[in-house]
Copies of this chain bind each other. A is one copy, B any other.
Amino acid sequence: MSATGGDNPFLRPRRATRRLSIKGLEFGSQAPVRVEGMAKTPTTDVDATVEQISGLQAVGCELVRVAVPTVQDARAIASIRPRIGIPLMADVHFSAAIALEAIQAGSDSIRLNPGTIRHKEAALDVASAARERSIPIRVGVNSGSMQAKVTTPRDLPSAMADEALEFCELLEQGGVDDIIVSAKASDTLTTVEACRALAARCDYPLHLGVTATGPRLQAAVRSAIGIGTLLAEGIGDTTRVSMTAPPHEEVVVAWLILEALGIRRRGPELISCPTCGRCLIDLPSLVEEVQQALADVTEHLKVAVMGCIVNGPGEASDADVGVAGGSGFGFIFKDGKKLRKVPESRLAQELLKEVRAICNTRA
């Protein structure tokens, strides 16, 4: 894998952006596509927030956003920041004073919504403080909280891009060049079009996400279509999946999207068949067993768990290692070649033995 693009031959070249870094973490087309998360705790609850951020980092979150609705939340950042291992972004709405307080408290970056920070002077005050501390700003437009009232759905994406870029221009007037920009809507295709418009009209790194996506599976589907479509076109430098679910699941889904496109990988990739009437072993249990057993493996390798000899090893021929089920038994295969026949009860452990062996060879 290249650091900036991916190894899939059908990915379009990454859109070139300016580069910036947040507390040493690089963003833009010279850097890997980043995975962000958001803490869902009250930011004033420092211990709970630190613990949640640590959990997010453990599943691959590289930048965490915290909600900062009050001055107290802003001040809590001073206590949170020294205790976490990834950079932090303060999410501020309505009040420049709170944004200034968050910067004062040591926030590594600020997200502002042009729809909720409406006064030019307010934006320039924050820009001035951000410039002084060399803190990047994400300009995040949200279809639900725009200044412009757009009544024709077809006009919404370009209006979102307009509103974002006007705000960016204001920040640049205030001396801030380190800007990440985003435009999110709860409609997936509106989000895609708004990001395409942004990509065509600026060289800021783009943050991708679909907003208000709903419960787990619906959110995964909408985020995958929206973020996935854009990334496949080479658009997007950092992502946040938003779900009504525990925050670590958002990070997991973001990684699944990157992995599906061959852009970045983290840990083993599981190839498994849906099972059908041909499958004579209990595949879902086997998949679950293998998935849990692999949870601590950070090495990337492809592991196949296939229900029958029709699909595996054929469909899983690019897997490093795998099993194909038979009747009460299965075959272990490696690099597309059958290794040995194993009783069903020992399939998982024999597969894991091979996985560990590969990891040891590579280590």
**Whole-angstrom distance between the alpha carbons of A166 and B288 in the complex?**
39
**Whole-angstrom distance between the alpha carbons of A362 and B259 in the complex?**
44
Chain B: minimal CB distance from A38 (Å): 6
A186 touches B271 (CB 8 A): yes
B residues in contact with A224, CB < 8 Å: 220-222, 224-225, 228
Considering the complex, give the chain B residue whose CB is closest to the CB of A233.
B229
B residues in contact with A85, CB < 8 Å: none
B270 touches A215 (CB 8 A): yes
**Whole-angstrom distance between the alpha carbons of A306 and B211 in the complex?**
11
Within 8 Å of chain B (Cβ to Cβ): is A154? yes
With A10-B193, A144-B316, A232-B189 as known contacts, state yes or no: A38 contacts B225, CB within 8 Å. Answer: no
Considering the complex, give the chain B residue whose CB is closest to the CB of A143.
B315
- Residue numbers of A with Cβ under 8 A of B are 8-11, 38-44, 49, 66-69, 73, 91, 93-94, 116, 142-145, 153-154, 157, 186-190, 192-193, 211-222, 224-225, 228-229, 232, 242-245, 247, 249-250, 252-253, 256-257, 259-262, 269-279, 283-284, 287-288, 291, 304-306, 310-312, 314-318
- Provide a sorted-by-A list of 22 A–B residue pairs whose CB atoms are within 8 angstroms: A38-B274, A38-B276, A40-B274, A40-B277, A43-B277, A67-B277, A144-B311, A144-B314, A144-B315, A144-B316, A145-B314, A188-B228, A212-B272, A212-B273, A219-B274, A220-B220, A221-B221, A221-B224, A224-B224, A224-B225, A225-B260, A229-B229
